[in-house]
Amino acid sequence: MKTQELFSILEQHQEKSLLFEYAPNAFVGANYHITEVKHLKIDAVDCGAQTDSWNETIIQLWESPLEISKTTYMSVLKALGILKKVGQMKAYDLNAEVKFEYSNSSFHTAQLFVNDFKIENQNLIFQLGVQKTDCKAKELCGLPETVTQTLDKAKEKVESCCSPQSGCC
């Protein structure tokens, strides 16, 4: 989800409570705060020696241990106010992918993509998820987009891709 789409959804549902589902049926606690907004510029080189760059908006969620018994979630209006204040201080790239950074005692720190959102009763729920790492240079390195080979053949292909003579990895 792009930052602009996030803002658009928030604008449309200001009267609702804002919830985050970080795994199926697992929600960030009502005691969460928006503790940081990061505007990242990524400059990368992949294993095929191809360069790429993009921007990301990372919104950090943190559960306050002092408010563990809190049951009322932050309103969309309050979250929107926080995010707009950030935007006045440091401009957003509205085309940047938005991610939410989160962890708790049973879930590792992760930058989670927005997979979808839904409205349930008076709640706006963003459904978050991890995205697995991937090789961006599959074609250049000779790896098929979908692996239909046996594990041995796939292993052989990866080993040949990653050999010192391949120009990859």
Instruction: Kindly report, residue by residue over 12-54, the tens digit of the pLDDT.
Output: 999 999 999 999 999 999 999 999 999 999 999 988 889 999 9
Does one domain contain both 125 and 138?
A: no
Residues 6+ apart with CB under 8 A from 68: 29, 31
Does one domain contain both 115 and 77?
A: yes
If one counts the domains in the chain, the total is: 2
Better pLDDT: 47 or 169: 47
Structural domain boundaries enclosing 151:
134-169
Give the mean pLDDT of the chain.
Answer: 89
Say if residue 149's pLDDT is above 50: no
pLDDT score of 125? 98
pLDDT score of 140? 77
Give the whole-angstrom CA distance, residue 88 versus residue 37.
12
Residues 6+ apart with CB under 8 A from 124: 9, 10, 13, 16, 17, 18, 19, 76, 117
Does one domain contain both 157 and 90?
A: no
Does one domain contain both 121 and 56?
A: yes
Does one domain contain both 96 and 160?
A: no
Does one domain contain both 124 and 64?
A: yes
pLDDT score of 131? 83
The tokens describing 136, both together, are 């961006």
Give the whole-angstrom CA distance, residue 42 versus residue 53.
5
